[in-house]
Amino acid sequence: MSLFPWLKGHGTENDFVILPDPEGSVHGELDAALVRFLCDRHAGIGADGVLRVVRGDKQSYVEDGGDWFMDYRNADGSIAEMCGNGVRVFVKYLAEAGWIDGKPVRVGTRAGVKEVAQNDDGTLTVDMGEPRIPDAAGIVVEANGHQWPALHVDMGNPHAVAFVDSLAEPGNLCDQPTWSPVEAFPQGVNVEFVVRRGARDVQMRVHERGAGETRSCGTGTCAVTVAAARAARDELPVTYRVGVPGGEVTVTWRADNHLELTGPAVVHARGEFDRVWLPGI
Ligand SMILES: N[C@@H](CCC[C@H](N)C(=O)O)C(=O)O
Q: What CATH number has the domain bearing residue 25?
A: 3.10.310.10
Based on the domain organization, do 254 and 269 belong to the same domain?
Answer: no
39 is catalytic: no
pLDDT given at position 109: 98
Torsion, CA 157, CA 245, CA 179, CA 177, rounded to 10: 130
Q: Which domain holds residue 64?
A: 4-123+265-273
Strand partners, 19: 52
Based on the domain organization, do 14 and 68 belong to the same domain?
Answer: yes
ipTM over 0.90 threshold: yes
Phi, psi of 229 (to 5 degrees): -70, -40
pLDDT along the chain (281 residues), means of 10: 84 98 84 93 95 96 96 97 98 98 97 98 98 91 94 98 90 89 96 97 98 98 98 98 98 98 98 69 45
Catalytic residue among 39, 174, 217, 222: 217
Structural domain count, the chain: 2
Based on the domain organization, do 108 and 169 belong to the same domain?
Answer: no
237 upstream amide cis, omega within 30 of 0: yes
pLDDT given at position 281: 45
Q: How far is the CA of 205 from the centre of ligand 1 (A)?
A: 13
Q: How far is the CA of 5 from the centre of ligand 1 (A)?
A: 24
Phi, psi of 167 (to 5 degrees): -85, -5
